[in-house]
Chain A
Amino acid sequence: MRVRFWGTRGSIPVALTSADIRRKIERALALALEKGVNTPEKLQTFIENDLDFSVLQTYGGHSPCVEIETGTDEFLACDMGSGARAFGARIMARTMAGVAPVVNIVMSHVHWDHIMGFPFFAPAYVPGATLRIYGCHDVIEQALRLQQSAPCFPVDFSRLAAKIEFIKLQAGQTADIAGFRLTPKLQRHTGNSYGYRFERDGKSLVYSTDSEHKLEDPAETASFVEFFRNADVVIFDAMYSLLDAVSVKEDWGHSSNIVGVELAQMAGVKHLCMFHHEPAFNDERIQSVLNETVRFEELTRGDQPLKITAAYDGMELDV
């Protein structure tokens, strides 16, 4: 099972500024000077070994869209945030001329950051293409039509050429989608959100974003531990620090890196992938949060180590 992240930022897309790029270059050159890089060979080694991710690359700024490769001609993704535009372009590039794509989309919820890429999702405009949109909310079709209504968007939903189907899922009831066994779970978020556990060939992936965890409710904690149980990868809403999550941003519907590690440890998860990054954070800050989270896991590790990563736009994971 291969997972490809097209959008990993929460709430609103962000972009690197010219000042951000300049700062990366300054940091890289300062370190190169310090390391005595003065040949092309040394430069290559320096780039490979000495620059951390936040200098060399970027976490990106698109809002949530996560593709799961199906191994067939069909496509599958969670959410249609702004990352869906590039995902759609990739589908068009990968689909042979004359073949209409079939795309399965599983929606966590319909807040704007999770649907805003849909009007720019090229397969929706292809005659003969099929889009199957799955989710537990009753309002998915309404939300997608609304955001393409005048005066907000120039192309009305009714003008989309693809065959678009809406398929309702029920929390706790498994469904078979694009070769995966899928189990939805209700999550705490304004207007509700749903997490999804994907299973196939003995491997399991949980997509759990926009989910607040109330620490005072042991039953709720236990239900998430069971949902995450022994998962190979959990993609987790780690938008806030724990302090923010239990104080000024309580009831804002998101969680923290600390709670992510604790739940994953209790559930015996192998890999926790932090997701839905705070839009106010730059690459250095996200890298710093990742480093701290790795350290927190070391401090609290039980019998089994937990791998921790921070998702970035363009990242691929083999589950």
Chain B
Amino acid sequence: MEIRNQTYGDVLVLSPEGRIDHANSENFRNGLTPFVERCTSKGEKLVLDLAGVDYISSAGLRCFMLAEKQTRSQGGTIVVAAMQPVVKEIFEISRFTLVFATFATVREALAQLSPAALKALEAGK
């Protein structure tokens, strides 16, 4: 799965699109892996921008869990932002909100994670 990515300061925003379900979860995981490997205590922080994702199945959520587990073990930070209402409810019912910090917008996530990243966003780059 192609995952758009955009760097703002020391934060990398990843923007998958469409459904993340049983049919494509492994592709999603493979697409995510190189970014997760860079997400260490000294590397980039990750924001998963889910504005373009309209559905996540359990298999997709498992990929999120694996990414969170790996980044945590590397001392990195991964958060979720801009969930559509349906995805937000699925996240809550699945209890994933207990392990992921979630933000209403990418801007709010950047504001929380890094002043430099927020500044880069507001500067349009």
Binds A, one of B6-14, B39-47, B89-97, B101-109: B89-97
A295 touches B22 (CB 8 A): no
- Cα A108 to Cα B71 in complex, Å, equals 39
- Residue B123, interface by CB 8 Å: no
- Cα A215 to Cα B25 in complex, Å, equals 9
Contacts A221-B22, A247-B69, A299-B86 given: A241-B62 contact, CB under 8 Å? Answer: no
A216 touches B26 (CB 8 A): yes
A244 touches B95 (CB 8 A): yes
Q: Which of chain B's residues have a CB closer than 8 A to the CB of A258?
A: 58, 61, 90, 93-94
- Residue A243, interface by CB 8 Å: yes
- Residue B3, interface by CB 8 Å: no
Q: Given B58, B62, B65, B89, which contacts A299 in the complex, CB threshold below 8 Å?
A: B89
Contacts A215-B22, A218-B22, A262-B58 given: A242-B95 contact, CB under 8 Å? Answer: yes
Number of contact residues on B: which range applies? 20 to 34
B62 touches A215 (CB 8 A): yes
Q: Which of chain A's residues have a CB closer than 8 A to the CB of B120?
A: none
B96 touches A243 (CB 8 A): yes
Chain A contact residues: over half helix, strand or loop, or mixed? Answer: helix
Chain B contact residues: over half helix, strand or loop, or mixed? Answer: helix
Contacts A215-B25, A243-B99 given: A295-B58 contact, CB under 8 Å? Answer: no
- Residue A259, interface by CB 8 Å: yes
Q: Given A243, A259, A300, which contacts B95 in the complex, CB threshold below 8 Å?
A: A243
B57 touches A262 (CB 8 A): yes
B58 touches A242 (CB 8 A): yes
Q: Which of chain B's residues have a CB closer than 8 A to the CB of A256?
A: 58, 94
Q: Which of chain A's residues have a CB closer than 8 A to the CB of B26?
A: 216
Q: Which of chain A's residues have a CB closer than 8 A to the CB of B59?
A: 215-216
Taking beta carbons and an 8 Å cutoff, which residues of A are in contact with B?
215-216, 218, 221, 241-244, 246-247, 256-259, 262, 292-293, 295-296, 299-300
Give 10 pairs: A residue, B residue, CB < 8 Å, sorted on A: A215-B25, A215-B58, A216-B25, A241-B95, A242-B96, A243-B98, A246-B62, A262-B58, A293-B93, A296-B89
Taking beta carbons and an 8 Å cutoff, which residues of B are in contact with A?
22, 25-26, 55, 57-59, 61-62, 65, 69, 86, 89-90, 93-96, 98-99
